[in-house]
């Protein structure tokens, strides 16, 4: 192969450019994914960036600088820039420089390079966290309560900490997974779920017990969580995004484990139960009467002798819970998510306080193996009428996005899509309540919003599962934690600016394998040539990285199809 045929272009700003038309595009995308982040995904060129956290996560899953750099050298059209190689090598070398271990009543931070520790202790915040020093030996001692804050600060300074300080043994809870029956077949954990649990637990060693498992929606993250609970065998606190997710965890635990109803507690706005397995929500934990007061329910973390804390949808973890998590480093911690992308940029907080990425299954790989449904993604571009074009041009950038997102012309395209998929299970998901209310009045399908009481929401979800309500209109509450396995069409009529995690969660609503073995369709309605289209491209980045290609379809084509 000539140099001009090689697929990657490496640049000195630590970015990697990959042509989508290259015959080895899919191979290169899958091999870049473990150590690089997708930052741009226009039609012909995808741009990835290598960052410290992406490299440290790669190192945590067993990859080495030698392996990554060899791959880049073999596939780079113009070679590897000198600074690119030195940065990657340097970030890999920083893993393992700092090790945290138990030392009696305190913890010892050992640095393999004593001179480096001496230099970093010029940072006042880091110095305030340690109590005694042996600078010649490269050791600093700290109180156990400073464990999370120290790891957090060292990551901010550019140095990950290998935490071998061990864990408190929570109260014992013998737990086994049941063999579950589905369509006449008996099954347990899928092979990749077994691997994910093993990568997290690591036979109970001090190297395991904390970290994040990344699986697509529909890939069985809850099953991995239950597998981890069975492996750890201790009292467990499970934190979820909302009450609907909490109740789904309860249902799954009762269905698929040996736990009884009396062993599972709910700590929510309705109930305050503390039991061997306690399910709570991020909302209740972050509740406080005013901004000046303390968080009322943070005491939950100390009310049980937890041996494991599970953070469901960890990419949604609110900032205040990071603060509490910094004090929980002696408890085993498992984060479950479809994406490590956080729109607030706090990926380093997840890395330092929950733990590194322990397992990541590429979405397309699970699709090829039949564990999630194949999906066709389509961006439907809709025009603005003349009156709204004038409004749009006169508006601020933020107002322009809202005008374009709520474009009434989207309703016509939506009706055409409903006709195309008549008789199928359809979710219509939107950002703006006024837009959804208008569609509710026009179409008459049930509308589910955050204001709807949980029992009524669950009733409508069940009606959808039973086929009594084939179409649902859903607000942002549909972004996560709803179990609707037979949904096979999702239409996104508006989204949250450029939220990549939201796009992934919405696609995830239709990824569960279908009972008939069929595929699914994901549509995003976008106002052409507007801020709506610009932000849509940003939202699609993560899914593009996972191998999903968006075809572009003008709304006129859908309307003509309906007319015919």
> Is the predicted pLDDT of residue 220 greater than 90, yes or no?
no
Q: What are phi and psi of 426, to 5 degrees?
A: -120, 135
The whole-number pLDDT of residue 479 equals 61
Q: Which residue has the tokens 């899919």?
A: 26
> Is residue 237 scored above 60 in pLDDT?
yes
User: What's the pLDDT band for 186 if we cut at 50, 70, 90?
Assistant: very low
Phi, psi dihedral angles at 382 (to 5 degrees) = -115, 140
- pLDDT over 60 (residue 151): yes
At 115-139, the pLDDT tens digits run: 999 999 999 999 999 999 999 999 9
Greatest mean pLDDT range, 38-52, 435-449, 523-537: 435-449
**Closest by alpha carbon to 317, among 212, 231, 408?**
212
What mean pLDDT is predicted for residues 236-254?
A: 90
Query: What are residue 37's phi and psi, to 5 degrees?
Result: -115, 135
Q: How confident is the model at residue 200 (pLDDT cuts 50, 70, 90)?
A: very high
Same fold, 180-361 and 368-563: yes
Mean pLDDT of 56-63: 90
pLDDT at 500: 60
Segment (H or E) for 280: strand 277-281
- The alpha carbon dihedral of 501, 321, 325, 348 has a sign of positive
Domain ranges in the chain are: 3-94, 98-164, 180-361, 368-563
Q: Report the range of poorest mean pLDDT among 99-108, 182-191, 534-543.
A: 182-191
Tally of CA atoms within 13 A in the half-sphere of 518 that contains its CB? 12
pLDDT of residue 181: 40
- CA distances 397 to 164, 494, 530, 534, Å, are 49, 16, 10, 11
The answer to whether the beta carbons of residues 65 and 86 sit under 8 Å apart is no
Say what the pLDDT of residue 222 is: 92
- How large is the average pLDDT for residues 68-75? 96
The sign one gets for the Cα dihedral 546, 551, 554, 556 is negative
pLDDT of residue 40 exceeding 60 = yes
Per the DSSP assignment, residues forming a β-bridge with 359 are 213
pLDDT digits (tens, 9 = 90+) for 304-362: 899 999 999 887 777 777 777 777 888 999 999 887 766 667 788 888 888 898 998 87
What pLDDT is stored for residue 1 in this prediction? 53
The separation between CA 9 and the C-alpha centre of its own chain, rounded to angstroms, equals 28
Which of 287, 349, 288 minimizes the C-alpha distance to 316?
349
Does an H or E element contain 152, and which? helix 147-156
3-state class of 529 per DSSP?
A: coil
Is residue 449 pLDDT above 60, yes or no?
Answer: yes
Which residue reads 């990959």 in tokens?
Answer: 18
Q: Which of 26-40, 92-106, 195-209, 425-439 bottoms out in mean pLDDT, i.e. has the lowest?
A: 26-40
Please state whether beta strands 236-240 and 98-103 pair in parallel, antiparallel, or not at all (unpaired). Answer: unpaired
pLDDT, residue 185, reads: 40
pLDDT band of residue 497 (cuts 50, 70, 90) is low
Percent of the chain with pLDDT over 70: 91
- The CATH class of 368-563 is alpha beta
**Mean pLDDT score across all residues of the chain:** 86
- Cα 354 to Cα 130, 229, 245, 461: the distances in Å are 21, 16, 20, 32
CATH number of the 180-361 domain? 3.40.50.300
Q: How far apart are CA 92 and CA 80, in angstroms?
A: 16
Contacts of 67 (CB under 8 A, 6+ apart): none
């Amino acid at each position: 192969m000539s140099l001009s045929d090689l697929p990657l272009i490496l640049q000195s700003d630590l970015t990697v450019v990959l042509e989508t038309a290259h015959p080895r595009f899919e191979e290169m995308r899958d091999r870049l994914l473990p150590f690089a982040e997708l930052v741009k995904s226009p039609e012909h060129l995808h741009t990835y960036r290598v960052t410290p956290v992406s490299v440290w996560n790669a190192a945590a899953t067993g990859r080495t600088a030698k392996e990554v750099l060899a791959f880049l050298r073999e596939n780079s059209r113009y070679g590897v820039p000198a600074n690119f190689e030195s940065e990657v090598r340097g970030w890999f070398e920083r893993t393992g420089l700092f090790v945290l271990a138990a030392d009696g009543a305190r913890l010892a931070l050992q640095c393999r390079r004593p001179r480096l520790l001496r230099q970093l202790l010029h940072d006042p915040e880091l110095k305030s966290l340690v109590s005694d020093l042996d600078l010649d030996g490269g050791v600093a001692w700290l109180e156990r309560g400073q464990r999370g804050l120290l790891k957090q600060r060292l990551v901010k300074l550019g140095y990950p900490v290998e935490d071998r300080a061990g864990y408190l043994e929570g109260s014992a809870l013998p737990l086994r997974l049941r063999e579950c029956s589905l369509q006449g077949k008996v099954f347990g954990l899928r092979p990749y779920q077994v691997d994910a649990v093993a990568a997290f637990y690591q036979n109970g060693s001090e190297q395991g017990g904390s970290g994040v498992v990344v699986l697509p929606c529909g890939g069985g993250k809850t099953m991995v969580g239950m597998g981890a609970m069975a492996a750890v065998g201790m009292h467990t606190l499970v934190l979820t995004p909302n009450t609907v997710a909490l109740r789904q965890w309860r249902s799954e635990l009762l269905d698929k484990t040996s736990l009884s109803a009396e062993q599972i507690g709910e700590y929510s706005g309705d109930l305050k139960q503390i039991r061997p397995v306690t399910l709570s929500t991020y909302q209740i934990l972050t509740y406080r009467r005013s901004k000046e007061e303390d968080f009322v329910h943070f005491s939950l973390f100390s009310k049980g002798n937890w041996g494991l804390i599970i953070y469901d949808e960890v990419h949604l973890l609110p900032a205040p819970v990071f603060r509490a998590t910094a004090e929980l480093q002696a408890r085993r911690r498992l984060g479950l998510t479809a994406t490590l992308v956080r729109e607030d940029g706090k990926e380093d907080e997840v890395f330092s306080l929950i733990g590194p990425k322990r397992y990541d299954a590429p979405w397309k790989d699970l699709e090829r193996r039949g564990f999630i449904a194949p999906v066709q993604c389509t961006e439907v571009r809709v025009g603005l009428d003349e009156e709204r074009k004038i409004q749009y041009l006169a508006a601020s950038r933020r107002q322009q996005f809202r005008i374009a997102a709520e474009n009434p012309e989207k309703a016509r395209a939506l009706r055409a899509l409903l006709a195309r998929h008549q008789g199928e299970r359809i979710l219509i998901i939107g950002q703006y309540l006024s837009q959804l209310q208008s569609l509710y009045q026009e179409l008459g399908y049930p509308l589910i919003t955050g204001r709807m009481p949980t029992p009524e929401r669950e009733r409508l979800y069940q009606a959808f599962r039973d086929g009594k309500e084939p179409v649902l209109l859903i607000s942002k509450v549909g972004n996560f934690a709803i179990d609707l396995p037979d949904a096979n069409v999702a239409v996104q009529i508006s989204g949250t600016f450029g939220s990549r995690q939201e796009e992934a969660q919405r696609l995830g609503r239709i990824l569960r394998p279908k009972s008939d073995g069929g595929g699914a369709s994901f549509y995003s309605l976008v106002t052409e040539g507007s801020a709506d289209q610009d932000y849509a491209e940003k939202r699609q980045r993560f899914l593009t990285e996972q191998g999903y290609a968006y075809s572009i379809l003008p709304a006129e084509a859908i309307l003509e199809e309906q007319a015919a």
